[in-house]
Amino acid sequence: MIDASLKPVLDTLQIQNILPHRYPFLLVDRILELEPMKRIVGIKNVTINEPFFAGHFPGHPVMPGVLILEAMAQTGGLMLAETENNLQGKIVYFTGIDRAKFRRPVIPGDQLRFEVDMVKYRHAICKMDGKAFVGGNQVCEAALSATLIDP
């Protein structure tokens, strides 16, 4: 578990100043570590109040894998945003995913920890490797790509 007394690198309000996502689609609660151009670590607290649990699945709530990947991509997008110091007027777009694997279900009460490493960065296009953990157990991994665009 994460030590709640540690000050995050980015809190929810700072994340909202960087990403355009809002409820119910902002899927990163805080950033614990950030090395621009290298690595980022983010947290998502999963609660039963998430709107997707109403239909996925009644009586057996499981976080959809596509939303785990989206949260991982948002975490990577924050790294890309911090790498590009001047994001005025730019939006980070998730452009691809490869080698996605899901290891175990994510359920209410879990805390997802995303670890995303930059693999390649050139001309506002990046490739990243991401992993998601609950406790010490890996629940998901994927190769992600993203780019910066003018809206």
Residue-wise pLDDT tens digits, 48-91: 999 999 999 999 999 999 999 999 999 999 998 877 665 667 78
The whole-number pLDDT of residue 2 equals 56
Query: Which tokens hold the place of 110?
Result: 């879990």
Beta pairing partners, 112: 44, 134
CATH number for the domain formed by residue range(s) 12-149: 3.10.129.10
3-state secondary structure (DSSP) of residue 65: helix
Query: What is the rounded average pLDDT of the residues 3-11?
Result: 79
Task: Give the residue numbers marked as catalytic.
Answer: 56
Residue-wise pLDDT tens digits, 98-125: 999 999 999 999 999 999 999 999 988 8
102: preceding bond cis by omega (within 30 degrees): no
Query: Which tokens hold the place of 121?
Result: 């960065």
- Could you please report the per-residue DSSP string of 102-136? E-S---TT-EEEEEEEEEEEETTEEEEEEEEEETT
d(CA 72, CA 89): 23
The whole-number pLDDT of residue 150 equals 81
Residue 146: pLDDT band (50, 70, 90) is very high
